[in-house]
Amino acid sequence: MIPIRLIPVDAHNWEVCARISPSPEQSLFQVSAPWILLQAQYCALKVWAISTPEMPVGLISWGNWGGYDWVARLLVDAAYQNQGIGRKALQLLEEEIPLRVRGGELRTAIHPENYAAEFLFRSEGFNLKGTFPDGERILGKEW
């Protein structure tokens, strides 16, 4: 597996991060990288670049809404998908979230037809908690 780490998105890498693009299949379920970067600025999210030793290849963001911590976005560039990068990024995110918020539940919302994302989150211990009115599935993991 390619070694990765989470690094802050900053003035030196935001343009590279903005060019990260999902596969055509995932673009049906995923917002664009520029949208993720803007959402982080205006919606109280913390966003990290998922980086190889050479360059950022994805984005992951986290926030707290309604008393729950949420993996708001997870995007891996099409050229780097299916290499375990999303899984490792999710594990690294869990290490990054401040210990003061532990003891609750980490959640995410997934389009009902995004089977790859659901498989990833379920394999990391997330279980179905409910659905939003638009059909998005809420998955959660107690910690």
pLDDT the model gives residue 50:
98
pLDDT the model gives residue 100:
53
pLDDT the model gives residue 18:
98
Q: Which residues, given as ranges, of the chain have pLDDT below 50?
A: none
pLDDT the model gives residue 98:
66
Q: What's the pLDDT tens digit per position in 18-41?
A: 999 999 999 999 999 999 999 999
pLDDT the model gives residue 142:
85
User: Is the distance from CB of 128 to CB of 118 less than 8 angstroms?
Assistant: no
Delimit the domains of the chain by residue range: 5-142
**How would DSSP label each residue in 37-103?**
HHHHHHTT-EEEEEE-SSSEEEEEEEEEETTEEEEEEEEE-GGGTTSSHHHHHHHHHHHHS-GGGTT
pLDDT the model gives residue 66:
85
CATH fold, domain 5-142, is Aminopeptidase (3.40.630)
